[in-house]
Amino acid sequence: MRASEPSTRRDGALDLLKWLALLSMVLDHLRYVGWQLDMLYVPGRLAFPWFCLAMAANLARAGSAAPKGQWRYLGWLLLFSALSEIPYRLFMANADTLNVLPTLALGLLVARGWQSPGLHSRLLGLGALVLAALLGEHLMFGLFGVLLPLATLLVIRRPGYWSLLPGAVCVAANEWQVLWPALRHGNDLAGAALLACLLAPWLGLALLRHARNACPPPMRRWAYGLYPAHFLLLLGVRWIVT
C-alpha cells in the first residue's frame, strides 16, 4: 500500500468509540422514560462529540481525495434523518429541534468542504454552513454542533491538549446558557455536565490512540437503524413503566 492511500484495515478503537457513543446516547434518553435519572445527563454529554469524532476519524483516514464512500455516508445520514424523525417525535413529544442526524449531515458537509480542495465540496460546505447559521434554532446542538466535526478534524492528529478546541465548541453546542448559571448557584450536576462536554473530545482521542487492539463487533451500515429503533424501544419501556 502506498503511503498516500487511505487504510482499509478495520479500526477496533473506532468501533469501540461508536459503541460507547451509542451507549451514552441511550443512557441520556433513559431520562425520558419516567424514572428519576437526572444524573444520566452527564454521561449523555459524551454521545454527540464522540459521534463527531468518529466522523472526523473516518474523514482523516480517507484523506483529501473525494471517495464515493463519503457521499454514501451522507446519503445514509439523510435517509435515516427522515426515517428517524417520527420515532424521535413520538418519544420526545415536546422536542423543538430536529433529530440529531441533520446536524451530523451538515457537519459532514462542512468538514468535507474544509478538507477537500475541490470546488464542488467547498461550495457544498459553505452552503451547509450558511444553512446551519440560518436554521440553527431548529437543529439539535445548533450551529456549533454543525462546526464540531470540523473542529475535531482539525485537531485529530495533534497533541492531546489541542482537544480543548473542540471541547470548547462542544460546550457552546450544549445548553451552556442554562448550565453556567446553574453552576454558579452550586449545581454539581451542571458542573459535571460542562466538564464532560469540555473533556469529551480528549477522552475520545485518548481511546482512539490507546485502544487499537480492541475487538468490539464491527459497527456497519445496519447500525444506522439503531437510532430510530432505540426511540421505539424506549417508547415501549415508557408505556410499560408509566
| Predicted confidence (pLDDT) per residue in 136-184, tens digit | 999 999 999 999 999 999 999 999 999 999 999 999 999 877 888 888 8
The angle formed by the CA atoms of residues 72, 74 and 78, to the nearest 5 degrees, is: 115
Rounded to whole angstroms, how far apart are CA atoms 238 and 198?
Answer: 31
Rounded to whole angstroms, how far apart are CA atoms 12 and 48?
Answer: 20
Q: Give the length of the chain.
A: 242
Average pLDDT over every residue of 222-226:
95
Average pLDDT over every residue of 72-98:
95
pLDDT of res. 6? 46
pLDDT of res. 3? 39
Residue, of 214 and 207, whose pLDDT is higher: 207
What's the pLDDT band for 70 if we cut at 50, 70, 90?
A: confident
pLDDT of res. 23? 98
Rounded to whole angstroms, how far apart are CA atoms 242 and 35?
Answer: 9
Average pLDDT over every residue of 190-219:
94
Residue, of 89 and 36, whose pLDDT is higher: 89
Average pLDDT over every residue of 41-69:
88
Residue 1 has pLDDT above 60, yes or no: no
pLDDT of res. 59? 93
Grid cell, residue 142, equals 445548533
Kindly report whether the global pTM for this prediction surpasses the value 0.85.
yes
Residue 84 has pLDDT above 90, yes or no: yes
The dihedral built from the CA positions of residue 146, 131, 125 and 6, taken in this order, carries a sign that is: positive
pLDDT of res. 5? 44
What's the pLDDT band for 2 if we cut at 50, 70, 90?
A: very low
- Percent of the chain at pLDDT > 70 equals 94
